[in-house]
DNA sequence: ATATAATTGAGAATGATAATCAATTACACC
DNA sequence: GGTGTAATTGATTATCATTCTCAATTATAT
């Protein structure tokens, strides 16, 4: 069980790529980031930790992090691509509230099994899957009902 | 059971929006389009049918088509948003080949049921879901195996 | 026919991401 | 520890899908 940094170092060596200070700082930023983040979030975290890595380098490094299976692209949200760490983490899918943006993570064994079945049926070799359910979280349902009701009352 | 055009007309009236020649031509283009299309595909279809509707109007009309539940956003593919018609069509999900871009559609009743269950569990009110499985279609698996093998042989 | 709010096309703006390029640097090898 | 070389970087520019602006036009209710 290696750390993110060790795993990234190993991945780079494997490909004859260099382990630069910039890449070291980016990995350090990644492990500090919360659940779902985009390129700009990585950049901001770098600033927080006194690093001057450029945004261009952040964008250049993301594919390396994806290829090394340290992070994965999870969602598209407001025209931005969101990533999250996956190394040493369990796979899961997402419920996304279209009102407040809240993201609920879930894992369902049966869904996973059914997906395997579907892939077998179509002789499809899956590398990744994404189940995203959009709608309203409990909080927003309540909020919006209140609005609908008061709107009706006013009528 | 209304036609796409009738439904769109009705939707527009409901919202005090105008049924313009441009919107008529866009609806006519939509029903002629194949499975998955983007804004540019709509624009090209308009050209084919001798219409001069601008791309700006296409982009402006897409949200109306989505709101009226005639089309839905299905996939992000190569930084483009793909849509497909959903009116009078069965819901389905997608297998996408990351090598050749082929899209296989499937429907699985059990997956749908499990999703309802998951939403109940989290008191989540779903408006939409999307299950996308990425990987290699049978054809590409074969092609790539050949490549891998010949690469190994050369070594 | 009139009034008015909605709609349009053309072009400019936006914004995330990718590409360029000259200067720098990691690191394998001696 | 120096050397050579291909990889890397930051700064800048380019890309390109999508949105915005605005003046001119038009659908539709009255
Ligand atoms: Mn997640
Ligand atoms: Mn489809
Ligand atoms: Zn919410
Ligand atoms: Zn394929």
In angstroms, how far is C15 C1' from A130 CA?
26
CA distances from B59 to B25, B41, B56, B85, B107 (A): 14, 12, 5, 16, 30
Give every CB contact of residue A25 below 8 A, 6+ residues apart in sequence.
A46, A49, A51, A53
Token duo for residue A149: 């009701």
Q: Which of residues 94-133 of B touch A (CB under 8 A)?
A: 95, 97-98, 104, 106, 108, 110-111, 114-115, 118-119, 121-133
Q: What does the H/E/C string look like for A82-148?
A: EEEECCCCCCCEEEEECCCCCEEEECCHHHHHHHHHHHHHCCCEEEEEEEEEEEECHHHHHHHHHHH
Opening angle at CA B73, ends A69 and A75, nearest 5: 25
Please report which confidence band the pLDDT of residue A60 belongs to, taking 50, 70 and 90 as the band edges.
very high
What's the pTM value of the predicted model, to 2 decimals? 0.85
Q: Is B3 helix (H, G, I), strand (E, B) or coil?
A: coil
The whole-number pLDDT of residue B99 equals 82
In angstroms, how far is D24 C1' from B64 CA?
24
Would you tell me which CATH number, out of the four given (1.10.10.10, 1.20.120.1200, 3.30.230.10, 3.75.10.10), belongs to the domain A1-89? Answer: 1.10.10.10
Would you say residue B23 has pLDDT above 80?
A: yes
C-beta contacts of A43-49 below 8 A and 24+ residues apart: A49/A25
In angstroms, how far is D24 C1' from B33 CA?
32
Identify all chain B residues contacting A130, using CB atoms and an 8 Å cutoff.
130-134
The whole-number pLDDT of residue A68 equals 96
Average pLDDT in the A122-128 region?
93
Give every CB contact of residue A113 below 8 A, 6+ residues apart in sequence.
none
Average pLDDT in the A37-52 region?
96
Token duo for residue B31: 């029903």
Residue A83 bridge partners (DSSP): A37, A73
Q: E-strand spans in chain B?
A: 71-77, 80-85, 93-97, 103-106, 125-136
Which of B114, B122, B133 shows the shortest C-beta gap to A129?
B133
Tens of pLDDT, residues B78-88: 778 899 999 99
Cα A128 to ligand 4 centre (Å): 15
Please report which confidence band the pLDDT of residue B76 belongs to, taking 50, 70 and 90 as the band edges.
confident
Is A144 in CB contact (< 8 Å) with chain B? no
Each domain of chain B, given as residue ranges in start order, spans 1-89, 90-155
- Record: contact B106-A118, CB cut-off 8 A: yes
Would you say residue B153 has pLDDT above 70?
A: no
Average pLDDT in the A79-94 region?
92
Beta strands B103-106 and B93-97, pairing class: antiparallel
Identify all chain A residues contacting B145, using CB atoms and an 8 Å cutoff.
none
Would you say residue A136 has pLDDT above 80?
A: yes
Protein footprint of strand D, defined by Cβ closer than 7 Å to any strand atom: A 12, 16-18, 20, 22-23, 52-54, 56-57, 60-61; B 12-13, 18-21, 38-40, 55-56, 59, 62, 79-81
A11, A67 Cβ separation under 8 angstroms? yes
The whole-number pLDDT of residue A147 equals 59
The whole-number pLDDT of residue B155 equals 37
B30, B65 Cβ separation under 8 angstroms? yes
Candidates B99, B114, B124: best to mutate against A (most CBs of A within 10 A) is B124
Residue A80 bridge partners (DSSP): A77
Average pLDDT in the A27-55 region?
96
Superfamily of A90-155 according to CATH: Ferric-uptake regulator, C-terminal dimerisarion domain (3.30.1490.190)
Distance CA B33, CA B42 (A): 8
Distance CA B8, CA B28 (A): 11
Distance CA A22, CA A26 (A): 6
Please report which confidence band the pLDDT of residue B147 belongs to, taking 50, 70 and 90 as the band edges.
low
The whole-number pLDDT of residue A77 equals 76
A91, A107 Cβ separation under 8 angstroms? yes
Candidates A109, A133, A144: best to mutate against B (most CBs of B within 10 A) is A133
Q: Between A and B, how many residue pairs show a Cβ–Cβ distance under 8 A?
A: 114
């Amino acid at each position: 069980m290696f750390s993110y940094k060790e795993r990234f170092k190993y991945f780079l060596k494997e490909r004859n790529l260099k382990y630069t200070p910039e890449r070291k700082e980016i990995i350090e930023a990644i492990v500090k980031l919360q659940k779902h983040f985009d390129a700009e979030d990585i950049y901001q975290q770098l600033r927080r930790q006194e690093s001057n890595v450029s945004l261009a380098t952040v964008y250049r490094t993301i594919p390396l992090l994806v290829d090394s299976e340290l992070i994965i692209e999870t969602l598209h949200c407001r025209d931005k691509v969101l990533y999250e760490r996956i190394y040493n983490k369990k796979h899961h899918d997402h419920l996304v509230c279209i009102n407040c943006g809240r993201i609920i993570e879930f894992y369902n064994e049966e869904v996973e099994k059914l997906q395997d079945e579907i892939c077998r049926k179509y002789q499809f070799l899956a590398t990744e899957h994404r189940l995203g359910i959009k709608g309203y979280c409990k909080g927003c349902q309540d909020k919006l009902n209140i609005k609908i009701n008061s709107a009706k009352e006013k009528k």
